[in-house]
A and B are shown apart, each in its own frame.
Chain A
Amino acid sequence: MTVTFLPLQEMIRAIRSARTQCEERGVIQRECAAIRAQFRQADNGGRSHNLAKLLYVHMLGYPAHFGQMECVRMIASPRYSEKRVGYLGAMMLLDEKQDASLLITNSIKNDLSNSNQYIQSLALCTLACMGSAEMCRDLAPEIDRLLRASNSYIKKKAALCAVHIVRKVHDLGELFTKAARSLLTEKNHGVVHGAVVLITELCERNSETLERFRKTVPDLVQIMKGLVISGYSPDHDVAGISDPFLQVRILRLLRILGRNNEAASDAMNDLLAQVATNTDSTKTVGNAVLYETVLTVLDIKSESGLRVLAVNILGRFLLNNDRNIRYIAMTSLQKIVGTDHNAVQRHRGTIVDCLKDQDASVKRRALELSLALVSASNIRSMMKELLSFLSSCPPELRSQTASGIFNAAERYAPSQRWHIDTILHVLTTAGGDVRDETVPNLIQLITNTSELHCYTVHKLYRALLSDISQQPLVQVACWCIGEYGDLLLTGECQETEPVQVTEDYVLDVLETVLQSHMSSPSTRGFALTATMKLSTRITENVDRIRSIVSIYGSCIDVELQQRAVEYNALFKKYDHMRAAVLERMPVIEKNSQGHTNGETIKESQTVKVKPGEPQQPANQVQANAAFYTVFSIVATVTVYEKDGVTVTLSCEKQSDSGLTVTLTASNSTESDIRGFTLQAAVPKSVQLHMKAPSGDSLPARGTAKLVFTFADMSEVYETKVSPVTS
């Protein structure tokens, strides 16, 4: 029988020599037709080639689902070459979402008990790659068996397979605990590595298992010591470090075991110091181990000397020539800037220098860290750097920088004038990237700084003369000119060079804004209102204002039209009230954030209050209120009431980035409750700072209350703080 298909390599050559996409498609269609024909035929010895061809075609992006059943058949074949390609096909074409994947469960089961370890290996690899939860449940006992009684080659694979199983079906973790423990004592590096990964996974999923495995800390320390001190071992050596992969894994496990546990942390203290000091940091691989050590030290309850050592290592990383190392140093420093603020401050200079780095990722890290390091003492110099960064930073970082600058300015402004100057600077440089509430916030700030009205309006007027494209700036400027235009006309100003303008000039500027195609509708609204307000602040050109207002009475924009008509009415029918209506605005009080945020959140994310509990204040907690609306009010909710113990939760919004949650526990039983403690967990995007509680025992009859206070030091940017609002 003539062979009608090309061998694999010929096909690849044919596809690559196709000059156009169309030609390539033609070749592939012919080949796929041949492959399909071959699939239908009986066993002809070329099956593995066929499937390999199909897999190549699949990698190019063409559909290959018709090969799924062939994979299933090949896996069941007794020939090793066919099994090998069959399993590869399964991993590429079948995933747990495909129904066909269940069909291979039986084959995998059989192959797991095959006498040939390479066949067992294929089954293990496939299960660990694409095993669904069902398959995992079916085959877990087999894996456990292999963990206990097989050679090292299989044991190490079984361990990682068990990791996959535990990730898919958490409950099965219990099954592997005992086997995992005994694997730690083996000599083979691969097996120990697999065991460590498995134990890490088990401890992460179950806190009881974590408790049990704490006892292994001394053994892990021993193994690690062996690796660090041992002589050259050619099999596992990488640039002078003995088995860095295993070292990193052990360090990671130690981190998990030492977290929140004094005893365990103490037991590993010396080892960590040793690794930190002795590891060669001239190559990346040494730095990888040092990095993991630093992460471990910072996460466990290490003594202060060790922490200082770790932060110093990060400081050294910051000065490293390799950009990658600088990047990860900043990532780590970001994590500890809240807790070890002073230590990180020492490296502020280097971090600020990284703002000028070419790489956008490094810039982003440097920005976040710089913003976290701003404090009252360095605000002026930091702001200079940040503002110069803003003028040259990549577009995707501008809005983050602007928000950060505003927050920092609000917190640490040394003077009102500085604050206003800073905001104006941001608006002129990056006006398009600021958030909507910047305009009302700035207006409020200006109103409240009465001594600077003259200065502010002069600055804004000058800004407006040079550029009317930045909408937030134009809006604020129009508003100011409307309010304080009379101060412009006096020709005097203490704080800055006064302008010599006539009323016409001022009105010209406002009219330019009104007529410009660059002005958004809301900006034009601002300009119109400002023009109207000036009618009570100027003396000669009131008629000009009257005519402007009446022109806009027939404007197409409905909002402008409405305003113009109303102002017209003010001129005509209510002239006697005009002065009173348009007089200076009083000082605005800062109202709660919630009322300006109108974002909706999905139903599932609304706060669930137990039925029967008083909703306070009920009328303000709307189903579609934003996250901060709910928590800006001090709402007290009873969250636990059983066996005489009552726990209530109350939240208070402290600032833009902080939320204080207070838990009050009271005891209404006859006897004292001792050893009352609390644990809290939050998602990664939120930082939690838990203060010490007022005590740990609840005396009888609720005579005293226990107060736990959490200050939620969330990251500075609202976009990251709550998943609800983004």
Chain B
Amino acid sequence: MFALVANQKVVIDWPCFWVVLGGSFLPRGVYTVLLFKMQFMLLFSRQGKLRLQKWYVPLSDKEKKKITRELVQTVLARKPKMCSFLEWRDLKIVYKRYASLYFCCAIEDQDNELITLEIIHRYVELLDKYFGSVCELDIIFNFEKAYFILDEFLLGGEAQETSKKNVLKAIEQADLLQEDAKEAETPRSVLEEIGLT
């Protein structure tokens, strides 16, 4: 009977204060849910043109546009020597400029900003390896490949593969698969079939 009383949970519907009876005593008394999640990643040029956008939270097109506009403005207004981190709304923004492109990630409150910088750097390295000395034009004209690479590196906003080599190998294989599939599909003319062209 005592156990029942001691373990019962009572939640008071107060605006900002919950009390739970039972369980072990916490002298420090602080229990917060830690949130780590990347909400979105944006790539944009120094003129503010969007080159890639990956959203990991459900938002309407209108909201996405608004966020993009505001954030691009905010980041472009930063001076060169400033900190790579800024607080924006209730998110932390981690950004870094590589040549003419800004790579910008929005992470949640408890996330580690420094490791996010490493994630951005890893993505840039992957692009670089894939395209061979990548530049903004590569990402413009092959944007779908940039997305495919990102999707092999991050899944649902989290890093899925920590080895550069493995990510690149997977992309290579997928590309080959795509090529093979295309080969199989292209109708060859009769002359081609018998080897006269």
- Taking beta carbons and an 8 Å cutoff, which residues of A are in contact with B? 9, 12, 16, 45, 52, 55-56, 59-61, 79-81, 84-85, 88, 91, 95-97, 116, 118, 121, 124-125, 128-130, 132, 153, 156-157, 160-161, 163-164, 167, 189-190, 193-194, 197, 200, 204, 207, 235-236, 238, 243-246, 248, 252, 255-256, 259-260, 284-285, 287-288, 291-292, 295, 323-325, 327-328, 339, 358-362, 364, 604-605, 607-608, 627, 639-640, 642-643, 645, 647, 649, 661, 663, 671, 673-684, 686-690, 692-693, 696, 710, 722-724
Contacts and interface: CB of A to CB of B under 8 A. Distances in A.
Q: What is the interface residue range for chain B against chain A?
A: 35 or more
B19 interface: yes
B16 interface: yes
Interface string B17-56: 1111111111111111110110000000000001111111
B123 interface: no
Given A686-B16, A689-B29, A690-B26, A12 B141 contact: yes
B192 interface: no
B179 to A, nearest CB: 9
Contact of B29 (A9, A163, A690): A690
Nearest to B17: A682
B32 A684 contact: yes
Interface in B113-154: 113-115, 117-119, 122, 140-141, 143-144, 147-148, 151-152
Interface in B50-72: 50-56, 58-60, 65
A190 B185 contact: no
B17 to A, nearest CB: 6
A682 B16 contact: yes
A681 B163 contact: no
B112 A688 contact: no
B25 A327 contact: no
B162 A153 contact: no
Interface in B163-185: 163-166, 170, 173-174, 177-178, 181-182, 185
B60 A124 contact: no
B193 interface: no
A128 B156 contact: yes
The 4 closest A-B pairs by CB, nearest first: A690-B29, A128-B156, A288-B114, A677-B25
Nearest to B21: A678
A676 B141 CA distance: 66
Contact of A680 (B5, B31, B51, B112): B31
Given A190-B166, A193-B160, A238-B122, 10 more contacts: A59-B143, A85-B144, A193-B161, A204-B33, A359-B81, A642-B8, A673-B5, A679-B19, A682-B16, A688-B30
Given A81-B181, A245-B159, A681-B18, A696 B56 contact: no
B2 A673 contact: yes
Contact of A640 (B21, B33, B37): B21
Contact of B174 (A84, A204, A642): A84
A643 B7 CA distance: 13
Contact of B18 (A52, A362, A674, A682): A682
B137 to A, nearest CB: 9
Contacts of B28: 260, 339, 690
B115 A245 contact: yes
Nearest to A659: B17
Output the residue of A45, A52, A61, A687 with the most chain B CB within 10 A: A61
Contacts of A244: 115, 118
Contacts of B12: 639, 649
Nearest to B112: A292
